[in-house]
Amino acid sequence: MEGIEHRAGSVLVTGGAGFIGSHLVRRLLAEEGVDHLVNLDRLTYAGDLARLDDVAEDPRLENVIGDICDRDLVDRILSTRGIRTVVHLAAESHVDRSIAGPAEFIRTNLTGTFTLLEACREAWSRGGDADVRDADVGDADDPPARFVHVSTDEVFGDLAVGDPPFTEVSPYAPSSPYAASKAGADHLVRSYRRTYGLPAIITHASNNYGSHQHPEKFIPTVIRSCLEQTPIPVYGDGSNIRDWLHVEDHCEALVQVMARGRIGASYLVGGEDEWTNLDVVRVLCRIMDARIPAGAPHDRLIRFVTDRPGHDLRYATDSSRIRKALGWVPTRDFESGLRATVEWY
């Protein structure tokens, strides 16, 4: 497996009991270069350690149930475990919840990110110097330090049909409190790079799908509705377009960024596979028709419901930077990935 060529040493993953984080923890434990992996997760409604059952016996995995806003706890983890790589995924992540109650998004996504940045700045500074530029270099004892901040393409707002896709230089224009909180976190990370030299890299992924996703999200909702023969809710007229990325392809990109990403850079990570929401539902219904003929045709369950306020029309990503610089390419096509996801559910 081509992955971390250098020794990553001890790694801190935040949000490793979540959907993407649990896939990343599993993927990292397949790397010999990872000596120890701390998963710091508060286990909110979205976190579940059962997602990691298959790797729970790995002696390198240490699950710490705690809050990224808890500075003392983060300090203790960084110092006692000698953490040199942080991959930060912990977040409130559901757009609808951010509209109903934004406060928790500001706390975790902004204050939580700030807490991690401050703790890393202090832990990685040498001789009490506020500037941590040297932390990137590492030495015989320490591998180079890395702070990989996992963000989203939603910070760029939305596109009209026919617009060119987002790139790393697209202007920030978040639409939802979720996207705004992630955008704010990105700006903090960028400022810590610029002001203090923190060895940070930002990734912006498109919509992920795959196994272990929380049932409230779009694809699991459609699958569950088909299995339970209940109405399939589709926002508006279903014409919103998303760029779908398999979660394992996303994690592979994160591993490449950890290992070889350029400090200070940001990378868009997208499947470059655009689908309207209605077409996604129709494909899922066709897959279900084949799996459970008794319930066919499942598309009779589709119900159009009042659109989400501020619903972004289209996301599309241009991943050429990470493709060219790191040789990453998504390996799963959406329809076969969806079939495997349905099998898992």
Which positions touch ligand NAD (CB under 6 A)? 14-15, 17-21, 40-44, 46-47, 67-69, 89-93, 108, 112, 150, 152, 182, 205, 207-208, 214
Least separation in angstroms between residue 192's CB and ligand NAD is 17
Q: How many CA atoms lie within 13 A of 185 on its CB side?
A: 35
When the beta carbons of 90 and 234 are compared against ligand NAD, the nearer one is 90
What value does the CA radius of gyration of the chain take, rounded to a whole number of Å? 20
Q: How far apart are CA 251 and CA 274, in angstroms?
A: 20
Q: Tell me how far apart the alpha carbons of residues 129 and 338 are, in angstroms, rounded to a whole number.
A: 50
CB of 40 to ligand NAD, least distance (A): 6
Catalytic residue among 67, 92, 178, 192: 178
Residue 333 a catalytic site member: no
Beta-strand pair 200-205/302-305: unpaired
Least Å from the CB of residue 111 to ligand NAD: 9
C-beta nearest to ligand NAD: residue: 18
Residue 95: CB minimum distance to ligand NAD, A: 10
> Nearer Cβ to ligand NAD, position 90 or 301?
90
Pick between residue 47 and residue 184 the one whose CB is nearest to ligand NAD: 47
Residues 6+ apart with CB under 8 A from 94: 46, 178, 214, 216, 217
* Shortest Å distance, C-beta 244 to ligand NAD: 9
Closest to ligand NAD by CB, 40 vs 201, is 40
Of 246, 242, 255, 250, nearest to 268 by C-alpha is 250
DSSP string, 70-127: -HHHHHHHHHHTTEEEEEE------HHHHHH-THHHIIIIIIIHHHHHHHHHHHH-ST
Which of 201/301 has CB closer to ligand NAD?
Answer: 201
Q: Please say which residue, 214 or 339, places its beta carbon nearer to ligand NAD.
A: 214
| CA 160/CA 324 separation, integer angstroms | 26
Alpha carbon distances (Å) from 84 to 17, 128, 142: 21, 17, 7
Q: Is 178 a catalytic residue?
A: yes
Residue 282 beta carbon to ligand NAD: minimum distance, rounded to whole angstroms: 21
Alpha carbons within 13 angstroms on the beta-carbon side of residue 27 total 24
Q: Which of 41, 92, 153, 158 is catalytic?
A: 153
Catalytic residue among 154, 158, 186, 243: 154
Residue pair 50/17 in contact by the 8 Å Cβ criterion:
no
Question: Min. distance of Cβ 22 from ligand NAD in angstroms?
Answer: 8
Separation between Cα atoms, residue 213 and residue 190, nearest integer Å? 29
CB nearer ligand NAD, residue 27 or residue 42: 42
- The amino acid that residue 55 corresponds to is V
Retrieve residue 182's tokens.
């992630």
Active site residue 136: no
Catalytic residues: 153-154, 178
